Structures are given as structure tokens and as C-alpha cells.
Amino acid sequence: MVPDAEMNDDGSMLNDDAVILATRGATHQPALTGCPWHDVNEMLQAAGLRPTRQRMALGWLLFGKGARHLTAEMLYEEATLAKVPVSLATVYNTLNQLTDAGLLRQVSVDGTKTYFDTNVSAHHHFYLENNHELVDIPDPHLMLQKMPEVPEGYEIARVDMVVRLRKKR
Ligand SMILES: [Zn+2]
């Protein structure tokens, strides 16, 4: 028996994809329902990236929890815990693609650690050395007192400020 909900107005059955779309949000994928999933799809499409299964899953982990700062290793660990079958190399590639598409911003600390920031608006960071954590500085107007002179033919694209903090002894 086919329930009425899965019939078109003319009585024909919907195709499989349509049924999956129609039932998403009900019982089939409880972990992946709601706005974040929809938003990630829209986000990828708007950035010209095909919403593949892996991009959707990683995007959902990245963007589904508000503003975050993650390294590739941190995201890989989250993906593994969420049973998303991806390799660390795929995580790196996806993060770089999302960055190139303007959906993420890279913040390098130490030259060895690269964080990916889901907040791409202009802001600066505190780096908590003790816990290797990157935190937004709430004041967006924090500026260098005097901008350096730039070489002929160049302009300042962005100023990334990382204020390193350590616990007082
Ligand atoms: Zn940030």
C-alpha cells in the first residue's frame, strides 16, 4: 500500500528522490534534519560547489553549530565520531575548496597550525596558548595604530591579528 501522502495530485507516485525529499525531516535522517542541512545545501550551491554527500556532511559539522574555529584534524575527528566515512586528505581538500569559495577563512597560528573559521567577516583573534584554542576578539574595530606603508602597486587586502594569550603564572 502506498500512503496518500506519497501520491501526486494526479495519483501517480512520486519518484524516489522526491519521496526522500518529502520524508526528510520526518524519521529517515533524524541527525541531518532542519535548517543547517538546508542552509549548507544552499551555501554550497551558491558558492558553485556541487553538494556531494561528503561536502554536505562536513559542511553540516562545520556550519551547524554557529561560529567555530577548527583545524583539519579536529574536523576529521568530529567526522569520525559522527560516522562520516572520510579520509583526512578529503577533509583537507574540502576545507580548502570551502575556503577558495569564500565560505571559510584560514587563520594560521605558528605557521604549523591552520584554523578554519566559519565566520568570514572581518575580525581578529585571541590564541590561547595553553589550550591551543582560537577565540574571536569581540571588537571588530580593533585596528593597528598606524598601518604600514605598502609597496607600489599593492593594497592591503586584510589584516589578520592574532593576540597570543597565556595563563598568568
Ligand atoms: Zn574567528
| Cα–Cα distance measured from residue 15 to residue 131, given in angstroms and rounded to the nearest whole number | 51
What mean pLDDT comes out for the span 138-152? Answer: 80
Is residue 5 predicted with pLDDT exceeding 50?
Answer: no
pLDDT tens-digit profile of 7-20?
A: 444 444 444 443 33
Q: 21: CA distance to ligand 1 center in Å?
A: 34
Tell me how many degrees the CA angle 64-67-71 measures, rounded to the nearest 5: 90
Site of grid cell 541527525: 31
Q: Which pLDDT score is estimated for 7?
A: 40
Q: 62: CA distance to ligand 1 center in Å?
A: 13
3-state secondary structure of 169: coil
Percent of the chain at pLDDT exceeding 70: 78
Q: 134: CA distance to ligand 1 center in Å?
A: 7
The domains found in the chain, sorted by start residue, are 53-165 (1.10.10.10)
Cross-sheet strand order for the sheet of 105-109: 69-70, 113-117, 105-109
pLDDT tens-digit profile of 27-59?
A: 333 344 456 778 889 889 999 999 999 999 999
Cβ proximity of 68 and 107 under 8 Å:
no
| Cα–Cα distance measured from residue 16 to residue 7, given in angstroms and rounded to the nearest whole number | 12
Q: 165: CA distance to ligand 1 center in Å?
A: 15
Q: 152: CA distance to ligand 1 center in Å?
A: 30
Q: 136: CA distance to ligand 1 center in Å?
A: 5
